[in-house]
Amino acid sequence: MNNQSNYQRGGAPRVAFVTGAASGIGAAVCRLLAAQGVAIAAADHNEAGLATLHESLGCDARFLSAVLDVRDEAAQQAFVRDTESRLGEITDVVPCAGLARSAPAETMSAEQWDLVLDINLRGTFLTCKSTAAVMLPRRRGSIVCLASITAKGGQPGRANYAASKWGLVGLVKSLATEWGNRGVRVNAVAPNGVDTPMLTAGVPDHFRQAVMLDRTPLGRFAQVDEVAQGIAFLLSDAASYISGTVLEIDGGLTAGYLTHRHGTDYALDQH
């Protein structure tokens, strides 16, 4: 029955296909899922980072890796085939590969624009497409993509990144409508700043403090494990009726976009 098809994956072995697995959120997702007994197929273009990840998982983990660029559709399809023959049927997908290249829009080069859109949006689409090709016929699968609080508004200097993440939300919602009745759920998480190399390299200092930290009610950035926990929930059967949603993991930032500044409470002001 259609409405039962993605309910309770029922203890069957799980295999997670994770891109951007060599660092940050992707690596944290791999560690968390591996600790839950999920086999890990890890892709990234950073070979040394994949080796470090493998070491951190310990020798008991069922693990396969591929050095690939997510813009390369044939490479992703080949890794899907390799994963299925060596680890088993792919059940969980987390396209984490991404990057930011900030610049004022009026001087942003076409190459900077294309690079960010190609990796964050087109790369994510190709991961979803390549893995769905094997999950849809089995009517079983869950995908969680990486949006951002940047997909809640605009950010100066980040026109390319914001466009990629708004586009990604459109992609997630479209795939959820297209694949839901074939047993594949598609969701996204929208983190605020997360303590990873991307945050250090991709966001200007003043922006990090003035916009992200000062306006975040919890008053700090997320740790990678806090984002991985949200992703693991959306992947799991505990989220079996959730599809097409974007889960904010943002320390309350977007709850108070208009009003909040950490350390002040406008509601207590006398008028």
Q: Could you say whether residue 42 binds ligand NAD (CB under 6 A)? A: no
- Work out whether 20 is an interface residue with ligand NAD (CB under 6 A): yes
Residues binding ligand NAD: number (CB under 6 A): 30
Question: To the nearest whole angstrom, how small is the minimum distance from the Cβ of residue 177 to ligand NAD?
Answer: 22
**Does residue 25 belong to the site contacting ligand NAD (CB under 6 A)?**
yes
Interacting residue with ligand NAD among 6, 15, 34, 44 (CB under 6 A): 44
The phi and psi torsions of 182 (rounded to 5 degrees) equal -115, 20
Fill in the amino acid letter for 104.
P
What sign does the dihedral 222-223-225-231 (CA atoms) show?
positive
**Given the complex with ligand NAD, which of 44 and 92 has the nearer CB atom?**
44
Q: Are 169 and 246 in contact (CB under 8 A)?
A: yes
Amino acid 137 reads: P
Do the beta carbons of residue 186 and residue 172 sit within 8 Å? yes
CB 271 within 8 A of CB 233: no
Judged by CB under 6 A, the chain residues 189 through 218 that form the site for ligand NAD are 191, 193-194, 196-199
- Is 161 among the catalytic positions? yes
The CB-of-164 to ligand NAD minimum distance in angstroms stands at: 8
Q: Which is nearer to ligand NAD, 9 or 121 (CB)?
A: 121
Phi-psi region of 228 (alpha: psi -120 to 50; beta: other; left: phi over 0): alpha
Measured CA to CA, the distance from residue 94 to residue 146 in angstroms comes to: 8
Binding to ligand NAD by CB under 6 A, coded x per residue (else -) over 128-167, reads ------------------x-x-------------------
Q: Which of residues 68-107 bind ligand NAD (CB under 6 A)?
A: 69-71, 96-99
Token duo for residue 81: 């085939």
* Selected catalytic residue, list 161, 241, 257, 266: 161
Exposure string for 6-37, b = 16+ CB within 10 A, e = fewer: beebeeeebbbbbbbbbbbbbbbbbbbbbeee
- Residues forming the active site: 161
Q: Rule CB under 6 A: which residues touch ligand NAD?
A: 19-20, 22-26, 44-46, 49, 69-71, 96-99, 119-120, 123, 146, 148, 191, 193-194, 196-199
